[in-house]
Amino acid sequence: MTGNLGRSGQPEANNTGFDKQLHGGVLERYIGETWSAENQGWKTMMDRYRKVMALLANPRLLIFNMKGNPTDYKTFRYGFASALMDDAYFDFSNGTGGPLYKPGVVWFDEYDRAGTADTKWLGTAVDAPPTSPWKDGVYRRRFKNGMALVNPRGNGNRTVTIEPGYKRFLGKQARGSQQREPATSITLQDRDGILLVKN
């Protein structure tokens, strides 16, 4: 059984009625609307995300949905990397006008490394979902074949040094942020994210 759980993580919500009663649901428009959870701060959004995950019964099939412009790759990376800080699936809604949910799927390089891998390329998580910043306010989560970094809204631009063994991948969309060279120093703008490939 699933449900629309977008308001369930809010402090005023009474969640006892569905604690371990639902197996999944949708965190609708957590980014991208005037009423989105992210507008109250990235930490608030993530606290609600984790709260809802904890309320679900296995197999916990939660969808983290955001609305955005499909050519705004920076904001997409921010939303996708935020979703990867826990175990929900990610869904992107085209917010460029017209129907609320348009037919078709908006595809991004990060889903399949610009067509060079399948959609499971990142692999299973090595780290537990982080509840505190890794470095300089930036959050990170490592996976079997890569790493996700997210710089929360309001944290300013940040440059962080990571251990050797990771690289950017060359995509077809945001080519300036997707270079093949080994990555040791990563600069993230405010409200930004990135996925790196493990060598």
Residue from 138, 143, 132, 145 nearest 186 by CA: 138
pLDDT of residue 64: 95
Residue 50 lies in a domain: yes
What was the pLDDT predicted at 97? 72
Higher pLDDT, 161 or 169: 161
- Give residue 182's pLDDT band: very low, low, confident or very high (50, 70, 90): confident
The answer as to whether 127 is a domain residue is no
Question: Is pLDDT larger for residue 17 or for residue 54?
Answer: 54
| Least trusted range by pLDDT, from 93-102, 131-140, 146-155 | 93-102
For residue 197, is it within any domain?
no
Domain count, the chain: 1
75 within a domain of the structure (yes/no): yes
| pLDDT at 125 exceeding the cut of 90 | yes
Would you say residue 178 has pLDDT above 60? no
Residue 71 belongs to what domain range?
2-109
pLDDT (0 to 100) of residue 128: 97
Mean predicted confidence (pLDDT) in 96-124: 86
Residue 6 burial (CB count, 10 A): 21
DSSP state letters, 72-108: -HHHHHHHHHHHTTTT-EEEEEE-SSSSSS-SS----
Choice between 170 and 16, residue whose per-residue pLDDT is larger: 170
Give the pLDDT band (50/70/90) at residue 24.
confident
Res 80: pLDDT: 98
Please indicate, yes or no, if residue 61 is contained in any of the structural domains: yes
Provide the residue type at 81 as one letter. Answer: A
Query: Which residues lie closer than 8 Å to 11 by C-beta, 6 or more apart?
Result: none
100: in domain:
yes
| 39 domain-assigned | yes
The pLDDT of residue 23:
83
Decide if 140 is inside a domain.
no
